Amino acid sequence: MGEAVIKNGKLVVDFKKFAIRSFAVQLQAPLEKMADPISFELPLIYDQDVVSTAKNKKNGRFDDKGISIPAELFPETLVVDGVQFNFGPKADGKNNVISCKGQKISLPKTGNFNHVYILAAALTDTSGIFKVGGLKSMVHIQAYRGNIGQFDNRTWDKLGRLTGLEKGYIKRDEVAWFATHLHHDTLAIPYKYAYVFKYKLDAGPASETLQLPENESIKIFAISLADNPSDQVHAAQPLYDDFTGRQALTLNLPISYVDTAMVAAAKIIVNTNRDLAKLPARLTMKDYADIHQPNGVTSNYYFSDADTSLTGSGTITDGMNVSAINDGMYDLLPGDSLSDKWSEKGEGRILMDLQKEIELDSIHMFTGQSTRRGGSPFHSGVQPEKRVLQ
């Protein structure tokens, strides 16, 4: 689009709303140029086949599930950060990885190298002890497949309800090579990746041997020795997200009243009797929770056309005071049972403000209906699991 404006060594640019600007930056030549790595590959004796061809997808397998790496993608050689690697053969029936069983590999006693570079992956994330000469190193080896990074991921049950949040992560190990699909039995599985990672150990001509871990989950693809001055260079800051030590987010999940098998958390028990005293629940004045008691509980009734006041999707209204519930008595006043109707257009809602969090082991509801309208005079009770309600 045009030349960038530089003033006093600073980039000057104007941005309009939602504008995007991209700049190509050409760095000056370094005062001292680092030498390219000098590397040479170690010949390996492979003992497992993890590669399969398109015509014979059952040939190799990385694990007991029959997963294998496609031969058409598997490289013969690879250069990673300037270090040359040779991979094993990929023809049918040929082994191409070492399954770690504590094998010892001889290192050259002469030559110019200060590191041994290993291309490896494991069945699952694991660790193994590598021994170079007399020096032991515990190395964490990443799994050959699966995600190497993931945003915070919401989890759901089969009813579509949010159940939690899996913490995001990014694996820090360097990916040396990856395959864009896998073979499984007779199938090619797209967008299921396989990874090979690069690991580094200090070594030299005096080391003499490299001993592999005793962990058959770890597979070695290639090993090279190198004198690599670039290994002295470290990033001044992470060049991508680093979730190391990050705590998982805590969710305030809504209460679910049925499980995934649609089993309700509450059991409704109905008892009918014209005599209130003969119902299973024995009520005393201590059982009433209303404005006449110290807890100050109040009840309001909402008509069905005022649903927005309960769902929060509209203007909150006060609702109608329910005198028959707030008076501290039951069925002692003429309007308590025979004249009050708590439904309108087939629905009615009573909202009780309990003032504080309390634990309930049951909820008892009583209705008194005129026999001329059908139904029974009294019934009670709902027995939920113990929950803290507000």
- Which tens digit of pLDDT belongs to each residue from 298-311? 777 776 554 444 44
**What is residue 85's predicted lDDT score, i.e. its pLDDT?**
97
Longest dimension (CA), the chain: 107
pLDDT at 328 over 90: no
Q: What is the secondary structure of 86-98 as a DSSP string? A: EPPP-STT---BE
**What is residue 239's predicted lDDT score, i.e. its pLDDT?**
81
Residues paired with 11 in a beta bridge: 6
**What is residue 280's predicted lDDT score, i.e. its pLDDT?**
74
Confidence of residue 136 (pLDDT cuts 50, 70, 90): very high
Local structure of 135: helix, strand or coil: strand
Confidence of residue 316 (pLDDT cuts 50, 70, 90): very low
Q: What's the distance, CA 199 to chain centroid?
A: 27
Q: pLDDT tens, 223-256?
A: 999 998 888 788 888 788 888 888 878 888 877 7
Output the six-digit token pair for 19: 């504008």
Confidence of residue 106 (pLDDT cuts 50, 70, 90): very high
Distances (CA, A) of 377 to 283, 314, 341, 360: 17, 37, 14, 26
The residue among 137, 153, 276 whose CA lies nearest residue 210 is 137
Query: Where are the chain's structural domains?
Result: 36-232, 266-389
What b-and-e string marks burial along 144-175, b requiring 16 or more CB atoms within 10 Å of the CB?
bbeebeeeeeeeeeeeeeeeeeeeebebebee
How many whole angstroms separate alpha carbon 350 and alpha carbon 321?
10
Q: Out of 30-44, 67-81, 202-216, 360-374, which region has the weakest mean confidence (pLDDT)?
A: 360-374
